[in-house]
Amino acid sequence: KAKKILIYKFDFVHMEWSTVPLQAEFVIEEKEFAAGGFRKAFKATSITEGFNKGTWVVKSYLETAVQLIKDTGQTTEEHTRKSVQMQYLARNFASQLKEAIAKDKLDEYGESFEYKSVYMGKAEDGELLTVEEFIPGDFVKFINNNGTVCEEDTMLCKKAEAFSHFTYEKSQGKVMVLDIQGSGYTLYDPEIASADLQSEDGGYQFCTGNLAGNAIESFFEVHQCNSYCKLLKLKLRPS
């Protein structure tokens, strides 16, 4: 059975949400193919003209996650919007890294990470969802949202650490992209740790997975700059 979902797009350049949503229909598999501590992920097929046909991932919140969001003083919609915006911020950092590699002709760096599109969805019953491009392949987590890094000495792990370090330096120490995970060079579901947990207006920055300065400290406690950090001329974190 097809499910109608209102699709809301976020324009990162203008920092604006679409005011008129696209109504799309998906055939969603009944059983989730993945689940985390926060959401369940279902494969879905788009059957709507005007919205890319093919395989997508529809993610819905667990009841425990909805309660956790409420405990932080946010609504589920506010949290979903932040989740989408967060992925676009991570995507922008990944684009900046690609540009730096091209500008400085760092051919030896090789391929770098990317993030695909993600949208906020609202079902007919009001349930808040995210709709993302499906990424085939084996899932690997390189860095956790608490700043701990994978212990494997692989090229991808080294590049994941260099990417997180890059985001910290690019943001002048304000944020760091963590929860680096995905398939190959395609990442998804990032978390962003901010140096300050609350914004100037007292609101909670980013999402509930933001472990703030503690996660940034934990990352730098174990991170040792590798060849990719050195290619990018990243600085050792000032004390």
Q: CA dihedral defined by 68, 73, 77, 81, rounded to 10 degrees?
A: -100
Is the per-residue pLDDT at 238 higher than 80?
no
Residues 6+ apart with CB under 8 A from 22: 6, 7, 9, 48, 50, 51
List, as one string, the DSSP characters of 119-176: EEEEETT--EEEEEE---S--EEEE-TTS-B-----HHHHHHHHHHHHHHHHTTTSEE
Higher pLDDT, 190 or 195: 190
pTM score, whole prediction:
0.90
Work out the average pLDDT over 161-178. Answer: 94
Higher pLDDT, 51 or 123: 123
Q: What is the mean pLDDT of the chain?
A: 90
Q: How confident is the model at residue 71 (pLDDT cuts 50, 70, 90)?
A: confident
Work out the average pLDDT over 17-23. Answer: 93
Q: Over pLDDT 70: what percentage of the chain?
A: 92
Closest CA to 31 of 44, 18, 42, 47: 42
Is the per-residue pLDDT at 205 higher than 70?
no
Pairwise CA distance, residues 182 & 174, whole Å: 24
